[in-house]
Amino acid sequence: MKRLLPLLLALIPFVSVHAQEAISRLEAPAAPKPAATPDAPPAPKVASLAPATAAVPAPTWDTQKQARAYVLGIPGPRGQIVDRRGNPLAQTRVSFNLGIRFPTPLTMTDTEVLAFTQQQVLTARTAVGRPITLTRDQVLKHYKNRGVLPMLVAQDLKSSEIESFNRLKPEHLTLQAVYQRVYPQGQLAGHILGYAGRAGRMPDGPIQNNELLWPDAVGREGLEQSFDDQLHGKNGQYDISFDPSGKKSSEKITANPQPGYNIVTTIDTDLQRLCENTLKAGVKRGAMVIIDPNNGDILAMASWPTINPNWFIPTISEEAFNAINNDKNIPLIPRAYRSAYPPGSVFKVPVALAALQERVIDIDDEFNCPPSLTIGRTVFRNWRKSGAGSLNFCDALTQSCDTWYYQVGIKTGAKRMSDWSKKLGLGERTGIPLAAESGGVIPDDAYFLKVHGHKMFDGDLANMSIGQGDVQVTPLQMAQAMAAVGNGGTLYRSRLVQQVQSIDGQIVNAYPVRARGDLGIDARIMKEIRKAMSAVVSSRAGTGGKASVSGVQVAGKTGTAQWGPKKKEKTAAWFAGFAPTDKPRYAFAVVSESDVGNADDFHGGTSAAPLIGRVLRQVFANEAKAEKADKADKDEKADKKKKGKKDEPEEPEEPVQDSGRD
Q: In what order do the strands lie in the sheet with 586-593?
A: 298-304, 285-291, 586-593, 570-579, 555-563
pLDDT at 40: 38
The stretch 345-371 carries a mean pLDDT of: 97
Topology of domain 269-322+336-620 in CATH is Beta-lactamase (3.40.710)
CB atoms within 10 A of CB 464: 27
pLDDT at 631: 82
In the predicted structure, residue 109 carries a pLDDT above the cut 50 = yes
- Residues near 277 by beta carbon (within 8 Å), at least 6 away in sequence: none
CB atoms within 10 A of CB 339: 22
Give the type of residue at 37. T
| Cα Dmax for the chain | 161
Reported as a single tens digit per residue, the pLDDT across 127-153 is 999 999 999 999 999 999 998 889 999
In the predicted structure, residue 353 carries a pLDDT above the cut 60 = yes
Fold: same for 2-16+72-265 and 269-322+336-620: no
Q: What is the pTM assigned to this prediction?
A: 0.85
The percentage of the chain sitting over the pLDDT mark of 90, rounded to a whole number, equals: 72
Backbone angles phi, psi at 348, to 5 degrees: -65, -20
| 7 vs 603, higher pLDDT | 603
How far out from the chain centre does Cα 643 lie? 52
Query: Looking at residue 312, what DSSP letter applies?
Result: G
Reported as a single tens digit per residue, the pLDDT across 70-103 is 899 999 999 999 999 999 999 999 999 999 999 8
The stretch 285-312 carries a mean pLDDT of: 97
pLDDT at 114: 97
What is the C-alpha to C-alpha distance for residues 102 and 146, in angstroms, rounded to an integer? 10
Give the type of residue at 271. L
Ranges of H-type helices in 147-286: 159-168, 190-193, 222-226, 228-231, 269-282
Q: Which range among 183-187, 315-319, 495-499 shows the weakest confidence by mean pLDDT? A: 315-319
Reported as a single tens digit per residue, the pLDDT across 366-378 is 999 999 999 999 9
pLDDT at 250: 82
Nearest to residue 369, comparing CAs of 381, 394, 387?
A: 387
CB atoms within 10 A of CB 501: 20
What is the C-alpha to C-alpha distance for residues 360 and 403, in angstroms, rounded to an integer? 17
Sorting pLDDT into bands at 50, 70 and 90, what band is 13?
very low
| 168 vs 554, higher pLDDT | 554
Q: Where are the chain's structural domains?
A: 2-16+72-265, 269-322+336-620
CA–CA distances in Å: residue 517 to residues 290, 359, 487, 522, 577: 20, 21, 12, 15, 20
What is the C-alpha to C-alpha distance for residues 74 and 561, in angstroms, rounded to an integer? 54
Instruction: Supply the Cα-derived Rg of the chain in whole angstroms.
Output: 37
Query: Looking at residue 608, what DSSP letter applies?
Result: I
Query: Looking at residue 346, what DSSP letter applies?
Result: G
Reported as a single tens digit per residue, the pLDDT across 550-589 is 999 999 999 999 988 888 899 999 999 999 999 999 999 9
The stretch 268-293 carries a mean pLDDT of: 98
pLDDT at 598: 63
The stretch 582-601 carries a mean pLDDT of: 90
Average confidence score pLDDT of the chain: 87
The CATH code of domain 2-16+72-265 reads 3.90.1310.10
pLDDT at 443: 98
Backbone angles phi, psi at 232, to 5 degrees: -65, 130
Sorting pLDDT into bands at 50, 70 and 90, what band is 591?
very high
Give the number of residues written for the chain: 662
In the predicted structure, residue 396 carries a pLDDT above the cut 50 = yes
Nearest to residue 146, comparing CAs of 98, 107, 203?
A: 203
Q: Taken in order 112, 116, 117, 122, is the CA torsion positive or negative? A: positive
Sorting pLDDT into bands at 50, 70 and 90, what band is 655?
very low
